Structure 1
């Protein structure tokens, strides 16, 4: 094959891969598809987490110390989430189901944290710092 034709072959190959990636996750029946779908769910949860974190940081824009403490807390939480999921899924390590279980764990914990950050933002918006202590 001539090198000049290679980009066209790659474009055709990549075009064939897109429909497989667009498969409905509700009908995923192979481990690879379930792992991919769990990864996609985690990416959505992570995007929501990042949005909630950014919103809370904006609410604290005039409070440098609280912003710094929030950043410190969020970094520690991310490490805790990952360590917790490693702990919970250690038995499946090396198996084909392991990525699915890790992503499900991370998705669940991330969704909870998103709710916590949203609650913190509501407290700040309400100017009710007492509710942050809950």
Structure 2
């Protein structure tokens, strides 16, 4: 009977279990990366909405001919700059465990944070009045 209790499966999903048990680093790295991919998917969904909103503003009734870039062009330029920032910033965040097994997890945690913040910024931009 003791053997059955020892082999009883943990009811938590693998990533929740890895967090709860402070498990194997490779599992925690995998789970952190999976969470980043989820945040990245949410950002991409919001990007499409915000890009559409900026393109709509470019087609609006009052678009000054002042020689400056369009709403969408400015958004695209800022997104490209943000991606460069994200990558460099999160690489440096990983250096807290440079070369160690925790480094990928720290990078993923950073990627999650900055991606969620950028998603919020894009959402607010799309919702702002012209």
TM-score bin (small chain): 0.7 to 0.9
Number of the residue aligned with 2:15: 25
Q: 2-side partners of 1:32 and 1:91: how far apart?
A: 17
CA distance in structure 2 between the partners assigned to 1:76 and 1:112 by the alignment = 15
Calculate the aligned-residue CA RMSD, in Å.
Answer: 1.3
Runs of 4+ deviating beyond 4 Å: none
3-state SS of 1:78 partner: helix
Task: Kindly indicate which of the two structures has a greater share of residues assigned to helix.
Answer: 1
2:47 to 23, 44, 53: 53
How many residues matched?
A: 103
Instruction: Tell me how far 1:46 sits from its aligned partner.
Output: 0.3
2:29 — aligned with what? 35
Whether 1:71 aligns to 2:65 is no
Unaligned runs of 5+ in 1: 1-22, 130-134
Match of 2:127 among 116, 119, 122: 122
TM-score (norm 2): 0.74
1:70 is paired with a residue whose SS is helix
Matches within 5 A, 1:73-88: 73-88=78-93
SS of residue paired to 2:101: coil
**Gaps (5+ residues) in structure 2?**
1-12, 60-69
In the alignment, the residues of structure 1 paired with residue 14 and residue 126 of structure 2 have an alpha-carbon distance, to the nearest angstrom, of 34
